[in-house]
Amino acid sequence: MYDLIIRNGNVVLPQGVSRVEIGIRDGKIACIANRISEDANDVVDASNQYVIPGMIDTHVHISEPGRTGWEGFATGSQALAAGGVTSYIEMPLNALPATTNKAALNLKIEAAKNQNYVDYGFYGGLVPGNLDDLEELAQAGVFAYKAFMSNCGSDIPGDFKNVDDYALYKGMKKLAELGKLLCLHAENLSITEGLAQDMVRLGRTTAMDYVDSRPVFTEVEAVQRAILFAKETGCKIHFVHISTAEAVQAVQRARRDGVDVSVESCPHYLAITAEEVERIGNYARCQPPIRKAKDQERLWQELLNGNIDWIASDHSPCTEDLKDGGIFEAWGGISGAQNSVDVMFDVAVKQRGLPLVQFVDLIATHPSARFGLPDKGQIAVSKDADIVLIDPNQSYVLRREDLYYKNKHSAYVGRKIDCRITTTIVRGNIVFDVRKGIVGNPVGRLMTSRTTSPKVVSAH
């Protein structure tokens, strides 16, 4: 007897796509077989659909507590569920206080309780002055740390702050001792700030001027500097939301040199061009900026060649008013968590022929391996039954009213998407059904990192 059986679907297994049935019991994948004859309490018919592991979104900002008006755990996790995400790791900034010590992490954990429709875990922040908090955060189960090399934060007490080179170097030394991963926003701070001021002074404030204020080399420079620090300290690093082929190539060279480094990009860098941002406006403002079509094409080659480890949304929501004004003043973040899987399936699998196994690697298998989530990331017996059904033959135009975010704006509103997520299952619980919307209870569980054991540091 199973709790749930998924029949008739084209299931994306690690070894390829196969017409098999999946039997789920106690939240786990209990059986994968050509035909399951036992009974089940519930059956999902996946005819003409792909059955894939749920996305593990390693880059989500929920601004609760403190800025709950921007996004909350309930609304944010509903959007993730509707978007085919079954677990996420929450960034340590935008909420107040920022997650830079154990007390702040406890506030997050408390605020998140009984609100999440999908599983969730947390980052800790690396900021100037919190070196002594990093170990406690590790013991409390954060999966990784995040630091900003470009300008970040505000004067509000408890808000996040970017690191300078000294704080970055010292933080990396400490995280190397702890054996923990550091995730980096890599852009050169002083050049991007200076160029932005130049642009505004000259009255150059179009979407293209914004792109030109953060040129490709300012991302590459920061990536190369962080790689050098990683070589020196032995810290494991990961680059978030990389927007350029040149930065991806720098990561690949470092990896060949033996640096423990990985790289993510985001759907908006692959599905939207700077030329289109002129039309979409501030809803598509983010940093690093969405690049011009010719640069994007080269990023695509890196993705198709397997040089980008995974895709994350960088869902960075805000209230509507913060998207008003000129592009240099507007909030730099895109609400996108609800459309990572369908947009990427459309542009990568359907439009560019990315094999489905590679697609699943990008959204689930690779992030689960890097973040130490052995129960997730694949459709295989004994894994968590985190499963998504996607219909490649449906298409729809995204409307504001489709969005579950607290603030119903997105860079993808008005976009035609040539596939549709029809069902999302979290540990055997159906949490989203395209005909009914969000269903059931907030079943999401807190995940904590089990890989806290310090790495042995060589004495030199």
Interface with Zn ion by CB under 5 A: which residues? Answer: 314
Q: Which residue is nearest to Zn ion (CB)?
A: 314
Four-residue CA torsion sign, 412, 98, 88, 165:
positive
Query: Rounded CA gap, 155 and 89, in Å?
Result: 26
Place of tokens 């999902």: 44
For Zn ion, the closer of residues 221 and 314 by Cβ is 314
Helices H / strands E in the chain, number of each: 14, 21
For Zn ion, the closer of residues 309 and 314 by Cβ is 314
DSSP strands (E only) in 286-374: 310-311
* Shortest Å, Cβ 314 to Zn ion: 4
- To the question of whether residue 146 is assigned a binding role by annotation, the answer is yes
CB 187 within 8 A of CB 244: no
* Shortest Å, Cβ 405 to Zn ion: 15
Query: Rounded CA gap, 66 and 78, in Å?
Result: 20
For Zn ion, the closer of residues 247 and 431 by Cβ is 247
Strand-pair partners of 445: none
* Shortest Å, Cβ 289 to Zn ion: 14
CB 341 within 8 A of CB 423: no
* Shortest Å, Cβ 59 to Zn ion: 6
For Zn ion, the closer of residues 333 and 428 by Cβ is 333
- To the question of whether residue 61 is assigned a binding role by annotation, the answer is yes
For residue 88, what are the CA distances in angstroms to 50, 79, 95? Answer: 22, 12, 16
- To the question of whether residue 366 is assigned a binding role by annotation, the answer is no
For Zn ion, the closer of residues 314 and 391 by Cβ is 314
* Shortest Å, Cβ 104 to Zn ion: 17
- To the question of whether residue 409 is assigned a binding role by annotation, the answer is no
What is the DSSP-derived secondary structure letter of residue 14? Answer: T
* Shortest Å, Cβ 380 to Zn ion: 30
Q: Taking phi first (over 0 means left), then psi (-120 to 50 degrees means alpha), and beta for anything else, what does residue 314 get? A: left
Q: Give the residue among 314, 300, 182 at the shortest CA–CA distance from 241.
A: 314
For Zn ion, the closer of residues 183 and 356 by Cβ is 183
Q: Which residues are annotated as a binding site?
A: 59, 61, 146, 185, 241, 314
- Residues contributing to the annotated binding site for Zn(2+): 59, 61, 146, 185, 241, 314
